Chains A and B, each alone.
Chain A
Amino acid sequence: MTEKKERLTILIAGLIVGVCGALLVKFGNPKNMGFCIACFIRDTAGGLGLHKAAAVEYIRPEIIGLVLGSFCMAFMKKEFQPKGGSAPFTRFILGFAVMVGSLMFLGCPLRMVLRLAGGDLNALVGLAGFFCGILCGVFMLNRGYSLKRTYKMPTLEAVAFPGVQAALLVLLVAAPAFILFSEEGAGPGALHAPIAIALVAGLACGALAQRSRLCMVGGLRDVVLFKDTKLITGFAAIFAACLVLNICLGNFKLGFADQPVAHTAHLWNFLGMVLVGFGSVLLGGCPMRQLILAGEGNTDSVITVLGYTVGAAFCHNFGLASSGKGPTLNGQIAVIIGLVLCVIIGLANSRKE
Chain B
Amino acid sequence: MKTVDARGLSCPEPVVLTRKALQSKENAYQILVDSETCKENVTRFARSQGYNVKVTVKDDDIILDLSK
Contact = CB atoms under 8 A, between A and B. Distances in A.
Q: A and B, one complex?
A: yes
Interface of A: 1, 3, 6, 77, 79, 81, 83, 86, 141-142, 146-152, 213, 218, 221-222, 225-228, 230, 284-285, 300
A179 to B, nearest CB: 34
B54 interface: no
Given A79-B35, A218-B12, 6 more contacts: A77-B36, A146-B9, A147-B10, A149-B7, A150-B9, A226-B12
Contact of A225 (B12, B36, B40, B48): B12
Given A226-B45, A228-B45, A213 B40 contact: yes
B47 A3 contact: yes
B16 A225 contact: yes
Nearest to B5: A149
Nearest to A230: B44
8 contacts: A79-B35, A81-B35, A213-B40, A226-B12, A226-B45, A226-B48, A285-B11, A300-B10
B37 A221 contact: no
Contacts of B8: 83, 86, 148-151
B12 A222 contact: yes
Contact of B16 (A1, A77, A141): A141
Nearest to A142: B16
Given A81-B35, A226-B19, A146 B13 contact: yes
Contacts of B48: 226-228
Considering the complex of A and B, which 3 residue pairs feature the smallest CB-CB distances, nearest first?
A149-B8, A284-B10, A150-B8
A134 to B, nearest CB: 12
B50 to A, nearest CB: 14
Contact of A221 (B10, B12, B19, B40): B12
Give the interface SS of chain B, mostly helix, strand, loop or mixed.
helix
Interface string B5-28: 001111111011001000000000
B11 to A, nearest CB: 5
Given A226-B19, A230-B44, A86 B10 contact: yes
Contacts of A225: 12, 15-16
A149 B9 contact: yes
A79 B11 contact: no
B51 to A, nearest CB: 14
Contacts of B12: 141, 218, 221-222, 225-226, 284
B62 to A, nearest CB: 12
A151 B34 CA distance: 10
A284 B15 CA distance: 12
B16 to A, nearest CB: 6
A218 B44 contact: no
Contacts of B9: 146, 148-150
Interface string B26-57: 00000000111100110011011000000000
Given A225-B16, A226-B15, A228-B48, A1 B10 contact: no
Q: Max chain B CB contacts within 10 Å: which of A147, A149, A151, A285?
A: A149
B37 to A, nearest CB: 5
Given A146-B9, A147-B10, A225-B12, A1 B19 contact: no
